[in-house]
């Protein structure tokens, strides 16, 4: 979120992605991949 806000404020274009944990009952069960243009997919689950 911080990186996206910085890019928007500086009017810069960039590509890339980050990952987020998928948790169930407090346990990590996988990862979600999210591009800077907000496309999402499952990386591992």
Largest CA distance in the chain: 39
- Beta strands (DSSP E) in 1-45 are 17-24, 27-35, 40-44
Alpha-carbon gap, residue 38 to 32, rounded angstroms? 12
Predicted pLDDT at 19: 93
Predicted confidence band of residue 7 (pLDDT cuts 50, 70, 90): confident
Q: How confident is the model at residue 29 (pLDDT cuts 50, 70, 90)?
A: very high
* Helix, strand, coil fractions of the chain, as percent rounded to 5: 20, 50, 35
pTM over 0.75: no
């Amino acid at each position: 979120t911080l990186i996206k806000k910085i890019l928007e404020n500086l009017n810069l274009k960039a590509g890339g992605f980050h990952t987020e944990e998928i948790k169930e009952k407090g346990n990590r069960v996988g990862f979600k991949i999210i591009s800077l243009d907000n496309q999402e997919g499952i990386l591992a689950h």
